């Protein structure tokens, strides 16, 4: 069953992070995973592996089937990457950290358009690099002037979340091409996390490395099947290396720096990329209904200004600055019993916002929205939060 009406066993039993973090009565729309039963081809592949007691160390990348499946899948987006230029990592953040340390100019700062995935804000300092946050213009567009100023001042790379988590924006090819020209002019790199690319609602998506030869030469693409096909606990991501020199550098790294992917995750990844699209199409139909449910419910209750219809992801980015500029998600958890992602965690540009995950059952989403609406409308009538 693909429908978000389903109650996955792990959710009912409280076996996942999403429904075991908060106390009774709190609806968790914060953790970025879906309340949906497993994709059958993925589940069947993993079940066969478990039945075969495949609990040893993973096979070499080249024998896993993942590079070939990744290459085929990326070609569907217009990105040609041969299988021998795909490398497996435990997760996207590990891949990003390794790329920053080894594929960008030593010691150079990293430009991060914000709001962005909150772990980006954490991973850059862990690599020993300075992070330069550049807020999106109007919450949707890259600030190319600010990015160029940072590159001119010595920054060596741009870390993109594309499509954007949490703002649910898909960058257009025109502004990405303009970014590529700037990065090339200043001899920089672009590390682009495209994990959310499969979760879109009719918006065209161009992989950064597929823009042109210039972008291809300085891009490092990180992606994963774990988000769209909902198996984040199986810890597997892939690096699509479109610069041959990067392949040589990567293969010269110590095993400990890149190893740690789950054998079961590798099996799940190949199954998802090769056989999971029909399941994902059905889930996307439900998610499309849910994104409209969020925006329309808020609009019907006089709160239409706080949310825009997401281009991609299963996340709604709520502008709650008029209610509370500092910690609206915390207040909503306390007053409405709904847990959302606190906007300030996604960079300074996110302060006063909150991230809502609408990939849950319709009745759960309806109840959460009802609670949020009641708190916000009451606050509006009384002149303050709470």
User: Torsions phi, psi of 296, nearest 5?
Assistant: -70, -35
Question: Could you read off the pLDDT of 367-385 as tens digits, one per residue?
Answer: 999 999 999 999 876 766 6
Residue 103 lies in a domain: yes
Tell me, what CATH number does 163's domain have?
A: 3.40.640.10
pLDDT at 386 over 60: no
Question: Could you read off the pLDDT of 310-328 as tens digits, one per residue?
Answer: 999 999 999 999 999 999 9
Residue 362 lies in a domain: yes
The count of structural domains within the chain is 2
Residues 19, 45 within the same domain: no
Residue 4 lies in a domain: no
Q: Structural domain of residue 342, as residue ranges?
A: 9-39+277-381
Residues 33, 128 within the same domain: no
Q: CA-based diameter of the chain, in Å?
A: 64
Residues 72, 214 within the same domain: yes
Q: Rounded to a whole number, what is the distance in angstroms from the first to the last CA of the chain?
A: 40
Query: Among 230, 246, 275, which residue terminates a domain?
Result: 275
Residues 179, 314 within the same domain: no
Query: Among 227, 243, 275, which residue terminates a domain?
Result: 275
The pLDDT score that the predictor gives to residue 11 is: 58
The pLDDT score that the predictor gives to residue 46 is: 98
- The pTM (predicted TM-score) of the whole model is 0.94
Residue 292 lies in a domain: yes
Residues 27, 84 within the same domain: no
Residues 94, 184 within the same domain: yes
Residue 143 corresponds to which tokens in the numbers above?
Answer: 């600030």
Question: Could you read off the pLDDT of 211-237 as tens digits, one per residue?
Answer: 999 999 999 999 999 999 999 999 999
**Residues facing residue 315 across a β-bridge:** 357
Residues 123, 175 within the same domain: yes
Phi-psi label, residue 168: left if phi above 0, alpha if psi -120 to 50, beta otherwise: left
Query: Among 247, 275, 303, which residue terminates a domain?
Result: 275
Question: Could you read off the pLDDT of 7-66 as tens digits, one per residue?
Answer: 555 555 566 677 777 778 899 999 999 999 999 999 999 999 999 999 999 999 999 999
């Amino acid at each position: 069953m693909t429908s978000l009406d389903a109650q996955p066993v792990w959710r009912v039993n409280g076996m996942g992070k999403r429904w075991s973090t908060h106390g009774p009565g709190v609806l968790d729309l914060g953790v970025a995973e879906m309340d949906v039963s497993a994709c059958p081809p993925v589940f069947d592949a993993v079940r066969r592996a478990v039945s075969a007691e495949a609990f040893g160390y993973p096979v070499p990348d080249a024998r896993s089937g993942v590079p070939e499946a990744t290459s085929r899948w990326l070609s569907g987006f217009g990105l040609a990457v041969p299988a021998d230029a795909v490398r497996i990592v435990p997760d996207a953040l590990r891949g990003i950290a390794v790329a920053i340390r080894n594929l960008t100019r030593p010691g150079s700062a990293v430009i991060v358009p914000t709001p962005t995935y909150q772990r980006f804000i954490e991973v850059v300092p862990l690599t020993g690099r300075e992070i330069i946050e550049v807020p999106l213009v109007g919450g949707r567009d890259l600030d190319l002037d600010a990015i160029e100023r940072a590159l001119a001042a010595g920054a060596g790379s741009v870390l993109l979340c594309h499509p954007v988590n949490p703002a649910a924006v898909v960058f257009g090819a025109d502004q990405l091409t303009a970014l590529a020209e700037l990065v090339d002019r200043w001899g920089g790199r672009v590390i682009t996390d495209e994990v959310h690319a499969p979760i879109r609602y009719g918006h065209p998506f161009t992989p950064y490395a597929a823009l042109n030869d210039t972008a291809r030469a300085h891009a490092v693409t990180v992606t994963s099947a774990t988000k769209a096909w909902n198996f984040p606990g199986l810890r597997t991501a892939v690096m699509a290396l479109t610069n041959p020199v990067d392949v040589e550098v990567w293969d010269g790294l110590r095993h400990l720096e890149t190893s740690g992917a789950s054998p079961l995750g590798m099996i799940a990844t190949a199954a998802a990329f090769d056989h999971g699209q029909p399941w994902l199409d059905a889930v996307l139909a439900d998610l499309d209904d849910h994104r409209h449910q969020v925006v329309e419910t808020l609009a019907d209750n006089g709160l239409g200004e706080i949310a825009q219809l997401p281009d991609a992801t299963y996340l709604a980015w709520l502008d709650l600055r008029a209610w509370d500029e500092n910690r609206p998600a915390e207040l909503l958890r306390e007053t409405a019993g709904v847990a959302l992602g606190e906007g300030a965690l996604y960079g300074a540009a996110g302060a006063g916002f909150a991230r809502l995950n609408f990939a849950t059952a319709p009745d759960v989403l309806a109840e959460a929205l009802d609670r949020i609406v009641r708190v916000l409308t009451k606050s509006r009538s009384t002149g303050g939060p709470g």
